[in-house]
Amino acid sequence: MKPLLYIHYRSFINFFKDMVKKPLKLLGVIFYVGLLVFAIIGGLKSATGGDYKSPEILLAITSGVCIFFYGLTLFGSGSSKGLFRKSDVNFVFTSPIKPQKAIVYACIKNMAQLLIFVIMIAFNSATLVRFFNLKDTGLINIYVSIIFCLISTSAVSVLLISLNTKYPMLDKITKYIAYILGAALVIQFGFSYFSTNSLYEAFINTFNSNVLYYVPLLGWNMQIVKGGLVGFEVNIIIFIGAFLLFIAVIIYTINRMNLEYTEEMVQKAEEFEEALE
């Protein structure tokens, strides 16, 4: 892992060197970071009550967002297109890094793009606290849940892409699973709507169903967010530990795999660049 860590270290250093050479860009970064800090502080100091909404809607939204990201992961399990750019290919594949570690590098890099979602949530910290009467650690629970959702999504994506290089049929299997789960949600939503005649109730009943709490990853995220509504509970630590163990097992599994697909990655990178032009 040392070559991979070195690449991220150099990318991190080069980012700050670029900021020094371009003061206006640095000023923009400082400005947005400042706004983000004030938004979070304002959220932590917001008074609760008044606009309090049902906690079920927050849990349903959390479930819906996680299902969306995990669904995208299943649909894209067989495609590494867009995982690398040409600059990555020229840099990564000429360095002494194993193919599986090169994929980990790409997913870590691409995961940074998804973190914009966390920033969007952070700018609405005060609204979340006011609307849902979050406890002292409520915002932290939400941030932790989103970050683990993104990290676990990337980890599962890495594993599926790696397995698909050895077992091409896996791509079709995961897509069928995604279709079946999606159809089940649509059916559940339809039954709930016809029985309550309310889109709001149908959304709550579908995405805050007790069954979802027993689904690995998804249920763990929901339990962490739920802790922000009811206060700190010991089981939150257990779910965070489960996430960390899950990610560690995936990374270990990928590192133990014998993968050879450098040419495929180069071709995918070229196709992706052509699509952008």
Q: What is the pLDDT of residues 122-149, one digit of tens each?
A: 666 666 777 777 777 777 888 888 888 8
In terms of average pLDDT, the best of 47-56, 144-153, 251-260 is: 144-153
- The single residue listed with the structure tokens 């870590």 is 108
- Please state, in angstroms and rounded to a whole number, the distance separating the CA atoms of residues 154 and 47: 36
- Please state, in angstroms and rounded to a whole number, the distance separating the CA atoms of residues 7 and 92: 8
Put simply, whether the predicted model's pTM sits higher than 0.85 gets the answer no
How confident is the model at residue 5, as a pLDDT?
56
Given a cut of 80, whether residue 78 has pLDDT beyond it is no
How confident is the model at residue 229, as a pLDDT?
78
How confident is the model at residue 66, as a pLDDT?
86
Given a cut of 50, whether residue 198 has pLDDT beyond it is yes
At residue 272 the predicted structure's pLDDT band, cuts being 50, 70 and 90, is very low
Given a cut of 80, whether residue 197 has pLDDT beyond it is yes
User: What average pLDDT does the chain have?
Assistant: 71
**Which amino acid is residue 121, in one-letter code?**
I
Given a cut of 70, whether residue 182 has pLDDT beyond it is yes
User: Cβ contacts of residue 13 below 8 Å, gap of 6+?
Assistant: none
Given a cut of 60, whether residue 273 has pLDDT beyond it is no
Q: What is the DSSP string of 201-264?
A: HHHHHHHT-GGGGGSTTHHHHHHHHHHHHH---HHHHHHHHHHHHHHHHHHHHHHHS----HHH
Would you call 123 helix, strand, or coil by DSSP?
A: coil
Tokens of 269: 């990178």
How confident is the model at residue 48, as a pLDDT?
47
CA angle 143–118–124, rounded 5-degree value: 85
CB 80 within 8 A of CB 161: yes
Q: SS3 helix, strand, coil % of the chain, rounded to 5?
A: 80, 0, 20
Q: What's the mean pLDDT in 140-167?
A: 81
How confident is the model at residue 191, as a pLDDT?
92
Question: Which residue pairs, CB below 8 angstroms and at least 24 apart, start in 210-215?
Answer: 212/63
CB 4 within 8 A of CB 89: no
At residue 187 the predicted structure's pLDDT band, cuts being 50, 70 and 90, is very high
Q: What is the DSSP string of 161-213?
A: HHHHHH-TTHHHHHHHHHHHHHHHHHHHHHHHHHHH--HHHHHHHHHT-GGGG
Tokens of 42: 């304002």
Higher pLDDT, 212 or 171: 212
At residue 47 the predicted structure's pLDDT band, cuts being 50, 70 and 90, is very low
